[in-house]
Amino acid sequence: MHGTRILDEADRLMTVCNSCRYCEGLCAVFPAMEMRRAFSDGDLNYLANLCHACGACYVDCQFSPPHEFNVNVPKTLAVARAESYAAYAWPRALSGVFARNGLVISVMAALSMAAFILGFVVAHDRDVLFGVHTGPGAFYKLMPHNAMAALFGAAFLYAILALVMSVRAFWRDIGAPIGGRADGGSIFQAIRDAGELRYLHGGGVGCYNEDDRPTDRRKLYHHFTFYGFLLCFAATCVGTLYHYLLGREAPYPWWDLPVVLGTLGGIGLVVGPIGLFVAKRDRDPALLDEGRYGMDVGFIAMLFLTGITGLVLLVLRETAAMGPLLALHLGAVFALFITMPYGKFVHGIYRFTALLRYAQERRRAS
Amino acid sequence: MQSGALRNSCISLYTKVRNGGSVSKTRNRSGSGVLAGGMSKKYDVLVIGGGNAALCAAIAARRGGASVIVLEGAPKFYRGGNTRHTRNMRCAHDAATEILTGPYTEDEFWKDLLLVTGGQTDEELARHMIRESKDILNWIVEQGVRWQPSLGGTLSLGRTNSFFLGGGRAMLNALYFTAEQLGVEIHYDAEVTDLVIEDAMFLAARLKRPIDAVNEIRATSLVAAAGGFEANIEWLKEYWGEAADNFLIRGTPYNRGSILKMLLAKGVQEVGDPTQCHAVAIDARAPKFDGGIITRHDSVVFGIVVNKHAQRFYDEGEDLWPKRYAIWGRLVAAQPDQIAYIIFDSTVVTSFMPTLFPPIAGQTVAELADKLGLDPVALEKTVTDFNAAVRPGTFDHTLLDDCRTEGITPPKTHWARRIETPPYLAYPVRPGITFTYLGTRVTKEARMLMKDGRPSANMFAAGEIMAGNVLGKGYAAGMGMTIGSVFGRIAGQEAAKHARN
């Protein structure tokens, strides 16, 4: 028996699946399962995070409901996955945030944006807040660069710390050898598998969403979102380097690297989340962890908000709307950063970690 | 059935054939014209059944230009009969492929078939099937089915058998998807209650529930691909008596053989021994129907098997397990109350595939016997006698090793090791019926033969319903699917050809 009902159910299903093995060619979950005959909590959390929720094993399973064996691996692992985020959350006191995640994320987003707007209003005269600022350093008339860097740097560092501590607990629990370091080959393999979403493909035909016809839409929109996020992050990094190394202050012209990266990334963060939201809305409820709808949509909405406020700020940065828009954009980004370790964002970190473990296991087995 | 009665009850039907998404209406080629009740339109080909053979027939017929309707008696989830539970197909090939480790020639396939059937096969038909199987390997992929290398724990099949990526239901999903794309009309819960056959000629099928207010489907050709009667306990009882009540059925409860029964009753020649079936020993705790592959046990060679009197009854180590697993269903069926127990000890638990149901455990043989409801004294004696008879040897379950017993009956001729390390473990097993062999006799065009030896003009059969032509008895893994795909495709092509003429 395990600590939770969902892990008991996951154990039951893995026992069924391990005596069948028909799905072995569909993804990484089943080959990883076959390397075990019994399943600890950590094993089940590992398999849950290895699952990309493509749905193929549900559509292909002769024992899925209404069969009395009631085998629904995607849904069970989705619930187990979400519960694992809470189980490994650092500090433990904040693991409850995952329970009402949609609410927490939206309150944090609203508070964060409100705080920036309020801060701007309190700190500035009306004509500064609604003034037209152009040229290098325009943004910093509203918020000094050092204040911005300190605030966001601190939020970002906290997010990193919390994520590292959480993943450490996960990595230990999923049976990674004590003191064992991941080898370069496994890391490279895991980066590739994560980067191309190798296992969100239903064994080659695509992912199952609203019916039994597979498509690659979710993969495509996830790529938009993920690479959009990375481009935005790269834009921020390049901007920081420009500032400190070259002494060049934002805003930069539209053709300059931070803006180009940010614009492309922003488009990704608008198109991707919309596509993912529509896919989620239309998805067969049989495959969904409906209890986590708020968490999933909350994260999608945060990414969308970050992207759209950034793009609008870019377009209107030389108008009187710049001040309020900057407050909104910074508010969105700040909320995204501080909620990162306590929302759907962590799925990518845990999945990458699970893929790394899988790559290691495969190497050791071969 | 008189033709007048038929015409009075005849209902017109529009055949919808979707071509590239647009819906067109094809005219009835046989020109039966205006009948009582209005325009009569019928299908070129009616396929009864919904498994591998039926879908291959439907797709082949549709690709041959025919309008096709498929009537699957089961609800959508349970569509496809035993195909749901399959995982591979045995096809001849002259060279290794991406997923097959080496060549498997027509000749070798033929020899294997001869061996497992003990010669009880129709050589012309079987050789034709084997020849055609080579092409099926590619054809089935063109229909959307995807292959993968043999599954973990099935390495002995890596050269001969191609596995379906995702298993039999994934294969079915692909075939249904392709059939729908091609414009095959598919109905579920579409049980056929009667076939109108006159003078070896199929005319119409009656439906239990109307489809679009129609309760009779007419077609120029019939493909019967509706499987065997393994789920029809009453019918099994005709040959097995009350013992059949203790049989578990590995597939869906919809494999009732009603189409087979109708065809045989209406003059089609039968083939195959009605008492023959593919039966394995499966866990006695499995559901009555549709437990599928996961209720099987691979542990027989690692222990001993006793009946309800705690007595051994057959050599557990006669031959390699892949060659012997299919006899144990019949062996258990012959035991009192059709129950047996695989007894082993804790040293071998990781030697076979993990099982769905956990073994029943006891710290002593007597405690185990007690939990199984066996006589403890009798089981202790059986185990003690067995242990005393075990000769020393070098254990290797991958070959016929020299671990055997001496001085007991029946002997265990290989892999015999003492059962002496607690906890003592057991799986209760019952006969699990996979499929039956009684069927309709066909020609190599998959055309049914009538009792008087005449071939039917327009009735074809494919799959389990005619497997007895090839398999008089015995079985080798993946052959059922070969019969289904090969004769399914042939039946579909021939049915379409007949409809065109």
Q: For B358, which DSSP code?
A: P
Structure confidence at residue A204 (pLDDT)? 87
Lowest mean pLDDT among A105-114, B17-26, B86-95, B310-319: B17-26
For residue B258, give the nearest of B211, B191, B198 by alpha carbon: B191
Q: For B269, which DSSP code?
A: P
| Superfamily of B1-8+44-276+438-501 according to CATH | FAD/NAD(P)-binding domain (3.50.50.60)
Structure confidence at residue B20 (pLDDT)? 35
Which distant-in-sequence residues (6+ apart) come within 8 Å of A279 by Cβ?
A: A209, A217, A218, A221
Q: Inspect the interface and report whether the beta carbons of A34 and B152 lie closer than 8 Å.
A: yes
Distance CA B355, CA B283 (A): 9
Interface check B103 vs A, CB under 8 A: no
Q: Inspect the interface and report whether the beta carbons of A212 and B173 lie closer than 8 Å.
A: yes
Structure confidence at residue A182 (pLDDT)? 76
Output Rg (C-alpha) for chain A, integer angstroms.
22
Interface check A26 vs B, CB under 8 A: yes
Q: What is the pLDDT of residues A37-95, one digit of tens each?
A: 999 999 999 999 999 999 999 999 999 999 999 999 999 999 999 999 999 999 999 99
pLDDT band of A365, cuts 50, 70, 90: confident
pLDDT band of B2, cuts 50, 70, 90: very low
Select the residue of B149, B169, B290 nearest A60 (Cβ to Cβ).
B169
Look at B153 and B260; give whichever has higher pLDDT: B260
**Ramachandran angles phi, psi of B153, nearest 5°:** 85, 5
Distance from CA of B456 to the nearest CA of A (A): 36
Structure confidence at residue A177 (pLDDT)? 61
Lowest mean pLDDT among B145-154, B205-214, B396-405: B145-154
Lowest mean pLDDT among B44-53, B435-444, B470-479: B470-479
Q: What is the pLDDT of residues B367-393, one digit of tens each?
A: 999 999 999 999 999 999 999 999 999
Q: Is B34 exposed, middle or buried (0-12, 13-18, 19+ CB in 10 A)?
A: exposed
Q: What is the pLDDT of residues B25-47, one digit of tens each?
A: 343 444 333 333 333 459 999 99
pLDDT band of A175, cuts 50, 70, 90: confident
pLDDT band of A178, cuts 50, 70, 90: low
Interface check B169 vs A, CB under 8 A: yes
Q: What is the pLDDT of residues B262-306, one digit of tens each?
A: 999 999 999 998 988 899 999 999 999 999 999 999 999 999 999
Q: What is the mean pLDDT of residues B434-455?
A: 96
Residue for token pair 């006589």: B375
For residue B352, give the chain A residue with the closest CA: A19
Q: Inspect the interface and report whether the beta carbons of A22 and B356 lie closer than 8 Å.
A: no
Q: Inspect the interface and report whether the beta carbons of A22 and B168 lie closer than 8 Å.
A: yes
Interface check B253 vs A, CB under 8 A: no
Distance from CA of B269 to the nearest CA of A (A): 34
Q: What is the pLDDT of residues B61-86, one digit of tens each?
A: 999 999 999 999 999 999 999 999 99
Structure confidence at residue A336 (pLDDT)? 94
H-state helical runs in B241-393 = 258-265, 321-324, 328-333, 365-372, 376-389
Q: CB neighbours (10 Å) of residue B346? A: 15
**Residues of chain B with C-beta less than 8 angstroms from the C-beta of A37:** 350, 354
Structure confidence at residue B37 (pLDDT)? 38
> Is CATH 2.40.110.10 the classification given to domain B279-432?
no
Under DSSP, is residue B297 helix (H, G, I), strand (E, B) or coil?
A: coil
Q: Is B89 exposed, middle or buried (0-12, 13-18, 19+ CB in 10 A)?
A: buried
CB burial of B107-119 (b: ≥16 within 10 Å; e: otherwise) equals eebbebbeebbee
CA-CA distances (angstroms) from residue A157 to A31, A151, A160, A216? 36, 10, 5, 35
Q: What is the mean pLDDT of residues A348-361?
A: 95
Interface check A61 vs B, CB under 8 A: yes
pLDDT band of B398, cuts 50, 70, 90: confident
Q: Do A128 and A120 contact (CB within 8 A), yes or no?
A: no
Q: Is B31 exposed, middle or buried (0-12, 13-18, 19+ CB in 10 A)?
A: exposed
Distance CA A236, CA B363 (A): 66
Q: How many contacts (CB atoms, under 8 Å) link A and B?
A: 83
Q: Do B82 and B54 contact (CB within 8 A), yes or no?
A: no
For residue A213, give the chain B residue with the closest CA: B177
Which distant-in-sequence residues (6+ apart) come within 8 Å of A181 by Cβ?
A: none
pLDDT band of B22, cuts 50, 70, 90: very low
Interface check B167 vs A, CB under 8 A: yes
CA-CA distances (angstroms) from residue A130 to A252, A337, B221, B347? 20, 27, 81, 80
Distance from CA of A365 to the nearest CA of B (A): 13
Half-sphere exposure of B29 (CA within 13 A, CB side): 16
**Ramachandran angles phi, psi of A325, nearest 5°:** -65, -40
Q: Is the per-residue pLDDT at B448 higher than 90?
A: yes
Q: Is the per-residue pLDDT at B213 higher than 90?
A: no
Residue B22 one-letter amino acid: S
For residue A116, give the nearest of A337, A266, A334, A262 by alpha carbon: A334
Q: For B421, which DSSP code?
A: S
Q: Which of residues 199-228 of A touch B (CB under 8 A)?
A: 203-205, 212-213
Interface check B63 vs A, CB under 8 A: no
Residue for token pair 């759209």: A308
pLDDT band of B198, cuts 50, 70, 90: very high
Angle B295-B298-B300 from CA coordinates, rounded to 5°: 120
Output Rg (C-alpha) for chain B, integer angstroms.
25
Q: What is the mean pLDDT of residues A294-323?
A: 95
Q: What is the mean pLDDT of residues A311-320?
A: 94
What ipTM, to 2 d.p.? Answer: 0.91
Q: What is the mean pLDDT of residues B172-180?
A: 97
Distance CA B319, CA B415 (A): 10
Q: For B246, which DSSP code?
A: G
The two three-digit tokens of residue A220, written as one number: 């495509």
Q: Is the per-residue pLDDT at A127 higher than 60?
A: yes
Distance CA B199, CA B202 (A): 8
The two three-digit tokens of residue A287, written as one number: 């495959």
For residue B349, give the chain A residue with the closest CA: A37
Q: Do B291 and A16 contact (CB within 8 A), yes or no?
A: no
Angle A252-A258-A264 from CA coordinates, rounded to 5°: 120
Which distant-in-sequence residues (6+ apart) come within 8 Å of A144 by Cβ?
A: none
Interface check B151 vs A, CB under 8 A: yes
Distance CA A168, CA A162 (A): 10
CA dihedral A34, A39, A44, A50 (to 10 degrees): -20
Distance CA A172, CA B55 (A): 49
Distance CA B328, CA B340 (A): 10
Q: Inspect the interface and report whether the beta carbons of A26 and B168 lie closer than 8 Å.
A: no
Which distant-in-sequence residues (6+ apart) come within 8 Å of B354 by Cβ?
A: A15, A18, A19, A37
Structure confidence at residue B153 (pLDDT)? 65
Mean pLDDT, chain A, as a whole number?
93
Q: Which of residues 453-492 of B touch A (CB under 8 A)?
A: none
Under DSSP, is residue B46 helix (H, G, I), strand (E, B) or coil?
A: strand
The two three-digit tokens of residue B373, written as one number: 């409801």
Q: Inspect the interface and report whether the beta carbons of B152 and A15 lie closer than 8 Å.
A: no
Look at A311 and B275; give whichever has higher pLDDT: A311
Identify the bridge partners of residue B426 per DSSP, sorted by sequence position. Answer: B343, B360
Q: What is the 3-state secondary structure (H, E, C) of chain A?
A: CCCCHHHHHHHHHHHHHHCCCHHHHCCCHHHHHHCCCCCCHHHHHHHHHHCCCCCHHHHHCCCCCCCCCCCCHHHHHHHHHHHHHHHCCCCHHHHHHHCCHHHHHHHHHHHHHHHHHHHHHHHCCHHHHCCCCCCCCCHHHCCCHHHHHHHHHHHHHHHHHHHHHHHHHHHHHCCCCCCCCCCHHHHHHHHHHHHCCCCCCHHHCCECCCCCCCECHHHHHHHHHHHHHHHHHHHHHHHHHHHHHHCCCCCCCCCCHHHHHHHHHHHHHHHHHHHHHHHHHHCCHHHCCHHHHHHHHHHHHHHHHHHHHHHHHHHHCCCCCHHHHHHHHHHHHHHHHHHHHHCCCHHHHHHHHHHHHHHHHHHHHC
| Whether the domain at B1-8+44-276+438-501 and the domain at B279-432 fall into the same CATH topology | no
**Ramachandran angles phi, psi of A182, nearest 5°:** -70, 135
Structural domain spans, chain B: 1-8+44-276+438-501, 279-432
Q: Inspect the interface and report whether the beta carbons of B173 and A68 lie closer than 8 Å.
A: no
